[in-house]
């Protein structure tokens, strides 16, 4: 981390962003509109059972697979669905990133 922090000071145009996971970004983006999903994202610790999920990343992956099954946004970890590369999807996912950046410098 010390080296990363030094590099950030040397290159102020660079931002470090550490989301829970890509799947969390997609779920948070609003591409999938669900009141239940918004509740989970607001308080994930209330829903993530550590005996079932090794990490929050695995929980969000399972949740994204579950809520997109059979839809045009169907998600699988091995190959990114092209629906996530459309301008609409990219804009929505980026907006999540832009609203929760935490500069380290």
User: Which pLDDT does position 17 carry in this prediction?
Assistant: 67
CA dihedral 17, 20, 25, 28 (to 10 degrees): -120
pLDDT tens digits, one per residue of 52-98: 888 888 999 999 999 999 999 999 989 999 999 999 999 999 888 87
Q: Buried b / exposed e across 64-82, counting CB within 10 Å, b at 16+? A: beebbeeeebebeeeeeee
Q: Categorize the per-residue pLDDT at 18 as very low, low, confident or very high, splitting at 50, 70 and 90.
A: low
Contact of 79 with 43, CB cutoff 8 Å: no
Domain ranges (residues) in the chain: 19-99
């Amino acid at each position: 981390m010390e080296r990363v922090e030094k590099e950030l000071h040397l290159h102020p145009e660079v931002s470090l962003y550490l989301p829970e996971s890509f799947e969390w970004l997609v779920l948070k983006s609003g591409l999938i509109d669900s009141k239940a999903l918004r509740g989970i994202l607001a308080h994930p610790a209330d829903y993530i059972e550590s005996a079932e999920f090794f990490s929050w990343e695995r929980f969000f992956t399972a949740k994204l697979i579950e809520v997109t099954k059979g839809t045009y946004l169907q998600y699988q970890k091995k190959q990114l669905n092209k629906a996530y590369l459309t301008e609409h999807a990219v804009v929505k996912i980026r907006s999540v990133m832009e609203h929760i950046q935490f500069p380290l410098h």
